[in-house]
Amino acid sequence: MASKKKNNFIRQNKIPLIIFTIAVVGGYVGIYLAFRGDGFLSAGKDLTKSDWLSFLGAYLSFVGTVAVSLIALFQSSYYTKVENERRLQEHRKKIQPIFFVNIASMNKQIEGTGEFFNPSDPSTYPKHNNIKISIENVNSYPITHVIVFDRYICPLLKCNESKSIVCAYYDTDDAKKWAKKLIVLTDDFERNEQGIPKWFNICYEDIDGQAMFQTFELKNFDGTPYYSLEGIHET
């Protein structure tokens, strides 16, 4: 892990390191050419080349000290940034809701509705095509402005609080009769052979006010349909 961080630091500061290396090599070559043989620079009054070489030695030592200090400063800044980012990601992950999504019922009579039928005539029995989904926030942090299937559900969903929604596709009798009692789904939400949505999003704002959404996909195990978390995303 430490080696990986070091490589990331070098990669992110690649250009400054290249410039510094070229400057050091170029300075060395320039000094060599300036003092090679008689050179093309005058040492100056009462000065010799050895005096300049002593000065350059001290100067290069100073430059090296400054370079090491700058590298240490850049590294400290880089690792501080990495650590802050890591803590931020941990915080963001910690405050995200954990949804317990349950298919509560399918093709049942919708609450608050009534239909007439002849008990002795099965052909008059009402037929339903809907799905009731229960959504519970089982994390320790509340969320706000919950939207499911493009419908605003509630302004606040506290921890261990659940909401139930009933959905039906636009071409079913339930959607045509009881549009005000349920969420009418369009073909934007793909359905399977049983008329169950293959996926849906739960959109919300976390306690930091960041707009997020979680995607759930329909799966099936041993004939039992259920929704599984696909991912958590920022909007």
Mean pLDDT of 53-57: 74
Which string of b and e fits 210-234 if b means at least 16 CB within 10 Å?
A: eebebebebeeeeeeeebeeeeeee
Phi, psi of 202 (to 5 degrees): -110, 110
In Å, what is the CA distance from 75 to each residue of 66, 82, 83, 87, 200? 14, 10, 12, 18, 44
pLDDT of residue 67: 80
What is the C-alpha to C-alpha distance for residues 136 and 63, in angstroms, rounded to an integer? 62
pLDDT tens per residue, range 144-181? 999 999 999 999 999 999 999 999 999 999 999 999 99
pLDDT of residue 8: 64
pLDDT of residue 156: 97
**Smallest Cα–Cα separation from 185: which of 170, 203, 200?**
170
pLDDT of residue 52: 67
Amino acid letter for position 139: N
Global pTM? 0.69
Rounded-to-5 percentages of helix, strand, coil across the chain: 35, 30, 35
